[in-house]
Structure 1
Amino acid sequence: MILKHLNRPLRKLSTVLHKPLYRTLSKSTLSLNLSVTSRMSVCLQDHILPNDAPIIELECEESFNALTDQEKLYTHYLSKACWNGSLISFVQCSPESPVIFILIHKIYLAEPIAELKKKCLDQLSDEEFTAFLVYSTGFLGSTGNYKDFSDSKIIPNLSQEKFHHIVKMSEAYHKEKELINALWTLCGDDIYSLTVNNANLGFPEKGVTTYLSSNCTENDMSVVNEFLKANNIEAYNCRTFKYVHQVTLVSSRTTVTLVDYVQSGKVLSPWSIKKCRRSFPTWCPTLSRS
């Protein structure tokens, strides 16, 4: 029931995560593959979602049936627009979130959850597979791998090896092996990475942000904020890139799909996920380039 709506094409989930989802985690004996700096004492209970997290389904059938036919159509298409529009939130959350989204969405779209579970239980316990479902739900509910109200990173409650096993056992992997491998290469380590620089959303050097390029300073932001305020521009709808002596080659092609980037080996290029947490172009599900 947790993710019964995930094996459908892009559309808004009819489940929401209740705030108690992020309550204190009971003792865990899992050995997680975490990258932790010596300067940071990581408290896993702040980053792992428990398997007994409550899932609250939005009951809207009665209200929907009370609408006129025209109102039902309006509500339907508004819902679709909201879901498609929400995809930008993954890009705004973290560099790896769009890649994780595409990986998870392809896995659940390719086959029913029950079939995926049956194939994975040879090497996973029922609790570990549930942890995978809970992570997926938390990720989609927050539209990214950071909690939507505390800004702390969400880490799966199963090992990276077991997570990867689920990926490789999926029907999506067998149908698009090259693409799924490329997606996992891009986000597999970042899903589990927990350092002083990425444990929370925040200003560069202290957290993760896709609103600012990595070379922006607090003084730069003060100048930008003053400019936006003077011109009555809402900062939430802006992203700031700091360029120094850069020459831009204008492309004649107007759109680039994710598959183009993955298959060409240029995903997120020239912004490297592995080297630094820089902002990158909006490309989920397509890229707009000038």
Structure 2
Amino acid sequence: MSQGLFYADSEAPIVSLSAKKHFDQLSSPDLQKYAHHLSRASFHGSRAVLDSVSPESPYIYDLILLIHEKLNQPHSNQEYIENLSGIDPQDVTYYLEYAAQFLDNLGNYKSFGDRKFIPRIGQDKLRQLIGKINDADVSELYAKVENQIYDTERGLLGYPDHGLLSNYYPHSATITKAEIDAVNQALSSAGIMPENTRVEKGDNQYKVLVASADSVDLYSKLNLQTDDGVKISFQFGDHAKDFSKIVQELENALPYVANETQQKLITFYIESFRTGSMAAHKKSQIEWVKDLKPEVESNIGFIETYRDPAGVRGEWEGLVAMVNHERTAKFSQLVENAGKFIAQLPWDKFYEKDTFTPPDFTSLEVLTFAGSGVPAGINIPNYDDVRLNYGFKNVSLGNVLSANPKNPKKEEVITFIDDQDLFKKWRDDAFEVQVGLHELLGHGSGKLLQETEPGKFNFDRSKTNVATWYKPNETWAGVFGANSGSYEECRAELVALYLILKDPTQVLPIFGIDSQQDQDDVMYIASLLMIRAGLLGLEFWDPEAKKWGQPHMQGRFAIMKQLHRAGVFEFKHSSPDFTDLKIVIDKPKLHDGTAVDALGEFLGSLHVYKSTANKDDGLRYYLEKSNVEDEYAKFRDVVIKEKKPRKILIQANTVLKDDGSVSLIEYEESEVGMIESYYDRKV
């Protein structure tokens, strides 16, 4: 495979994720201190992310920060170039672009797509740059990772026995999918949640590494083994140094909690991160759901399981944010109307919760999002029983939705469409509606039919002939496995677009889109956004491995394909290399039921398969829908050729001053600004 496919982005838009206005508006100094300590706790988990990506990622991280230090902490790209005089300025720029992208992804694999990226500066020239710094520590650290930085043999994250890489299984290049599944089954049978674990394969045993500050083995008395008799041991204290810092910062936050619920929340966090108990983390999420409309919102832990090829091990995330009251008012109105919209979704009420409990739905301005990437919206917690019994929260991240560079490096051209002005006019509004419906009614809808304990069910078996359901202690992700994340993201995306097209006169006015012309425009742009995203998703499909590298894009491709097969749009081109490829929507079909029926058929089927734990039929159906046939694969080369770099988001830091007050520091929108923001965190 050509190394060019792996080059780090060049001239990526760099955006300061500004939160100063809302941080300064917090109602008390104690709230600022609370946010500060939670931010520090969140960022101290960064090395857990690095360790889960690749063996070399922690060393590259240290190298980038050490280079910055040894060059006397330059404050601009130009200062870097001046401090490295004698090195081609373009090569210095290529290094800085790689460093900024590495920090943005917290590793040398893209968080969005799981593909490795390497510097555009050649290996020999980077060696010269390192030599120019003339520092023994820098040279020693670089020597440890030089070859790994440029090696693209295992260019995707995935199962090691498939020729891919996953550092959720460190030092275990020979571990197989079957062996991973066997360990997961043993953990599940023992009631051990695996989100905060990694697994090493040894001689005639597996070692489960558990993230915690303490090294006390909570499971020493279990004598656990796989079904075929291989011993499973536990080693607590994975990332112990960092988790001790996390615990300390959470203890520092305790005096500044706003209420008893927050006190319980932080206390359970401390227990979980100190001992490695995921049961304590689940308790924290119950308290988090109960903590309604706090001024400072935070959720911390091993949350999403997308990057583990088995789909069960989580990646560290730490969110700290302030409420945007104006935007939250819109979402509150959406919550009030949720029951009415859910009734329009294409499945029988038998497959819906008996009572929809309106969640807390807020628009937040992100102060901190520690992890490998910042989403636009969140619907958590992911524990099925907590969602069912206590509820969940929907969060829209306002300053992420509206993040655009103050001084763009070049004029933006939207690929594969003709309606440039209309698209730019309405895309933010259409995306805000999409995110709101996706999180609230997509992830928030539906009932899992379950045998809650032997012989007891959460549904009336006499009223249905369903043959499958969730057994006691089974979870949605556990049953549907590695494809569960993509499957669910597709279902949530379908809910959003389905409702936008089915009931625009009820949905869109909630977001201030009132006139028929504006509603027609948003229906069109929302559809165009989804279809174009599906086309762009081809970048994240590997034709050799036949593997999707990004769950959201797999789902969006499947939706695009469904609409294409229904005749809602067509691809127009005259050039044999598709360089003039355009998406052309048949607008009447957005209004006459064609698009709604196509989306409804797809959505209803996905939902019922999920609700009934029908893994075999559900995955067969979904994987066929997201299969990339030749009529779509032929566009992949032009998609890659025309791809635009993703935005790099620079987050602020907070500093506790000697007088006890907290100040917020924001950074220049440049590659060096990104490096400075991480250097100042000292994690």
Q: Give me the TM-score of the superposition, normalised by structure 2.
A: 0.29
Tell me the residue number matched to 2:34. Answer: 74
**Residue 95 of structure 2 is aligned to residue 132 of structure 1:** yes
Deviation at 1:69, TM superposition (A): 0.3
Give, in angstroms, the shift of residue 142 of structure 1: 0.7
What is the CA distance between 1:141 and its match in structure 2? 0.9
The question of whether the paired residues in 2 share the 8 Å contact of 1:51 and 1:127 is answered with no
1:116 and 2:80 are equivalent in the alignment? yes
* Counterpart position of 2:200: 241
| Aligned partners of 1:132 and 1:158 also within 8 Å | yes
State the one-letter code of the partner of 1:79: S
* Matched positions, count: 208
Q: 1:110-189 residue pairs with structure 2 within 5 A?
A: 110=70, 111-113=72-74, 114-124=78-88, 126-170=89-133, 173-174=134-135, 177=136, 179-189=137-147
Task: Determine the C-alpha separation between the residues in 1 that align with 2:159 and 2:101.
Answer: 23
- Checking the alignment, whether the CA contact within 8 Å between 1:49 and 1:135 is kept in structure 2 is yes
- Structure 2 counterparts to residues 49-64 of structure 1, below 5 A: 49-64=8-23
- 2:8/2:98 contact within 8 Å kept: yes
Letter in 2 for 1:116: Y
How far residue 214 of structure 1 moved from its aligned partner, in angstroms, is: 2.1
1:204 lines up with 2:160 in the alignment? yes
Residue 65 of structure 1 deviates from its aligned partner by 0.2
Unaligned runs of 5+ in 2: 206-212, 215-236, 245-683
Partner residue of 2:180? 221
Relative to 1, partners in 2 of residues 1:78 and 1:237: Cα closer, same or farther, differing over 3 Å?
A: same
For residues 180 and 112 of structure 1, the distance between their equivalents in structure 2, rounded to whole angstroms, comes to: 14
Pair 1:287–1:71, CA change in 2 (3 A): closer
- 8 Å contact 1:88–1:284 — kept in the other structure? no
What's the CA shift for 1:286?
A: 7.3
Q: Please state which structure has a larger fraction of its residues in strand.
A: 2
1:30 maps to: none
Given residue 167 of structure 1, which amino acid in structure 2 is its aligned partner?
A: I
Point out the more displaced range, 85-94 or 222-231: 222-231
Contact between 1:49 and 1:156, CA under 8 Å: does it hold in 2?
Answer: yes
SS at match of 1:239: strand
Shift of residue 245 of structure 1? Answer: 5.5
Structure 1 residues 211 and 232: CA distance shift in structure 2, 3 A: same
**What is aligned with 2:150?**
192
**Conservation of the 8 A alpha-carbon contact between 2:44 and 2:242:** no
Contact 1:91 1:282 in 2 (8 A): no
Give 3-state SS (helix, strand or coil) of 1:56's partner: strand
Instruction: Give me the whole-angstrom Cα distance separating, in 2, the residues matched to 1:204 and 1:44.
Output: 23
1:85 aligns with 2:45: yes
The equivalent residue for 1:35 is none
Cα distance, 1:122 vs structure 2:
1.6
CA distance in 2, matches of 1:220, 1:56: 43
What amino acid sits opposite 1:51 in the alignment? S
Correspondence for 1:106? 66
Contact 1:146 1:154 in 2 (8 A): yes
TM-fit CA distance, 1:75: 1.0
Aligned partners of 1:131 and 1:158 also within 8 Å: yes
Task: Please tell me whether the aligned partners of residues 64 and 99 of structure 2 are also in contact (alpha carbons under 8 angstroms).
Answer: yes
Q: What's the TM-score once normalised by structure 1's chain length?
A: 0.65
Distance 1:77 1:286 in 2: 14
What is the CA deviation profile of residues 119-168 of structure 1, one whole-angstrom value per residue up to 9, with x for unaligned ones? 324231x3221111111011111111000121100110111122222222
Q: In the superposition, relative to structure 1, how do residues 242 and 51 fare at CA in structure 2: closer, same or farther (>3 Å)?
A: closer
* Structure 2 counterpart of 1:147, one-letter code: K
Distance (whole Å) between structure 1 residues aligned to residue 84 and residue 122 of structure 2: 14
Q: Which has the higher contact order (CA 8 A, sep 6+)?
A: 1
Superposition CA RMSD, Å? 2.8
Contiguous gaps of at least 5 residues in structure 1: 1-40, 247-253, 256-280
CA distance in 2, matches of 1:139, 1:232: 36
Aligned residues with identical type, % of pairs: 28
Note if contact 1:104-1:136 (Cα within 8 Å) is conserved in structure 2: yes
Mapped contact 1:120–1:166 kept (Cα < 8 A): yes
